[in-house]
A and B are shown apart, each in its own frame.
Chain A
Amino acid sequence: MLLVVEQFLNGLQFGLLLFLLAAGLTLVFGIMDLVNLAHGSLYMMGAYFAATFAAWTGSFVLGALMALGATLLLGIVLEVTALRHLYGRDHLDHVLATFGLILFFNEAVRLIWGPAGLALPLPAWLTVPVPILPGIHYPAYRLAIIVVALLVALLLYLGVMRTRIGMLIRAGASNREMIGALGINIKLLYTLVFGLGAALAGLAGLMQAPILTVQIGMGENILILAFVIIVIGGIGSIRGAFLAAIFVGMIDTLGRAFLPNLLRQVLSSTAASTAASALSSMLIYLLMAIVLVVRPEGLFPASRR
């Protein structure tokens, strides 16, 4: 029982983290029609910035806030110098160009921070276990991730659905020329959306940093997960990304936790443990394949397309 609750929360936490990453990806994808493979690099940069700034200032929170600003800035610079010229081009061009950016970022990190990973230690007040149910404790930091991610999700939803800027963004997604003709600076709008996406990726990276080691290439595995999520959820749909992210986070975490025991019921223990490790890694890809076969447009396709 205790284990189930804990794993359930782990799944939720991982899912919400994936949502932050997928939200930025799906915003950029759905609105600017840009396939950005370098999104995972922004996630990595967020983690590296946080580790560096936290070490400088000696404060985790201050470091995290500075890292957030830094990834926002980096995203804006990236959009203005490189990606802006790719709008309206073939998706394959996007894939190639942003693949080049991955190479660049990985190497730049190696040059600046060296090949060894970094650690981002947590302050003491975030490491204490918090009682959530009678007799069940859960690490404060993971709870903090859940709270922050839920807040960001809410703000994002309200921002896109209820504000003027959000309205312009949605309008720009369906008809770029029309919005430009109305006298809106669409270029600036796109730059801001990309910056926001970058900041979201950076936030995911910096929050994950204390749990994992900060290392080169850390964005690549998780980027694929984020792509899986937006494909399952339906490209361009924030709501779809949110639900799919939670779903994928749960399935991945619960699969890893419980599949070995489940398989041991039917297989010999060595066979079960090898099968379980392969199967649990495959689970979400299997899920995505099934979803795409049944609903090729994803579960919650964005309504405007």
Chain B
Amino acid sequence: MKGLSVSKAVTALMLAGLVLLPLYSSLSGNIFILTLFTRIVILALAAASLNLIMGYGGMMSFGHAAYLGIGGYAVGILAQEGVGSGFVQFPVALAASALFALVIGALSLRTRGVYFIMITLAFAQMAYYVASGLARYGGDDGLTVYKRSDFYGLINLSDRVQFYYLCLACLLAVIFLIWRIVNSRFGLVVQGLRSNEQRMQAIGFPAKRYQLVCFVISGTMCGLAGALLANNTDFVSPAVMYWTRSGDLMVMVILGGMGTLFGPIMGAVVYLLLEEFLSQITEYWALIMGPLLLLIVLFGRGGIMGLLGRAGRG
């Protein structure tokens, strides 16, 4: 019980930090930290979406970066074609991601285990090559988004603080949604399928249909992250979908604590801050980061959330 309270305290502290960050940024005049954390919040959103299927559903998608790209390209392509309205761009980004997830999920869910990891990877690589082949939209070089999504004065995405809060609001909304999902009857079935698919099927639940719906929800959430990411960098390129990026997302989820509500945020914050911190000390930051990941796997089961829980229990 005491263990729970330690991880709760740290989580609350982290959330408070995220909410108050723009204040600190404007007081200290440190604009860079706001830019950095906008990126962290967006990728935390992507990691949270992956956690929904990986942590709660037991579906290890190794192609989640594809949705980052699809959401991003939806914004980029529409902007290029003169449709600047966020009210069009964002729904299209979500719908495109959902559709992709529906097709991929329907095919991938025929397999399981390592095969599932690999087939999701294969589909993401296909999306990567399709994007590389889009000569009209930059091909390999990527597509510059000259104008951020326009929400007609409701919110101005070019304003750093407003954009940061938009991203944070999206993240918290997604976390809330995931919380509602995993505690609903639907979510309990999905989690039941993770532990014992045969038994659930024997009781009479159409296993694949539940898993597919969960897969689509997750993909759609990640598409939202993609749309935000394109607005953040003013740029979208096939590199966003490359398989190592899917690996990054997986690392964030596992690092923070798979199957915990706030673990992915924790993981994204720690992973990206560590990357930033180490890269300031040395150009060869990955030399430290790599073995660090190995050590975390070897000695830190359950990620940071698990570690916090154990620390609390003493």
Give residues in A with beta carbon < 8 Å to B. Answer: 29, 35, 37, 82, 85-86, 89, 91-93, 95-97, 99-108, 110-111, 220, 224, 227-228, 231, 235, 270, 274-275, 277-279, 281-282, 285-286, 288-289, 292-293, 296-298
Contacts and interface: CB of A to CB of B under 8 A. Distances in A.
28 contacts: A92-B60, A93-B254, A95-B62, A95-B117, A96-B250, A96-B251, A96-B255, A97-B293, A97-B294, A100-B289, A100-B290, A100-B291, A105-B290, A224-B125, A227-B118, A231-B115, A270-B135, A277-B133, A278-B129, A278-B130, A278-B132, A278-B134, A279-B133, A281-B129, A285-B122, A286-B126, A292-B111, A293-B107
B297 A93 contact: yes
Interface in B93-145: 107-108, 110-115, 117-119, 121-123, 125-126, 129-130, 132-135, 139
Given A85-B298, A285-B125, A288-B122, A104 B111 contact: no
A271 B314 CA distance: 65
A206 to B, nearest CB: 23
Contacts of B255: 96
Interface residues of B, number: 47
A100 B244 CA distance: 11
B286 A107 contact: yes
Residues of A contacting B: mostly? helix
A288 B121 CA distance: 11
A193 to B, nearest CB: 18
A227 B129 contact: no
A285 B126 contact: yes
Contacts, number: 138
Contact of B254 (A96, A104, A105): A96
Given A97-B298, A100-B297, A281 B132 contact: yes
Residues of B contacting A: mostly? helix
Given A231-B118, A293-B107, A91 B284 contact: no
A108 to B, nearest CB: 6
A264 B238 CA distance: 25
Contacts of B258: 92
Given A91-B117, A100-B297, A289 B284 contact: no
A101 B292 CA distance: 10
Interface in B129-171: 129-130, 132-135, 139
Nearest to A279: B133
A295 to B, nearest CB: 10
B60 A91 contact: yes
B290 A227 contact: no
A288 B284 contact: no
Interface in B152-197: none
B205 interface: no
B115 A96 contact: no
Contacts of A275: 133
Given A35-B114, A91-B114, A282-B130, A99 B122 contact: no
Contacts of B247: 37, 95, 99
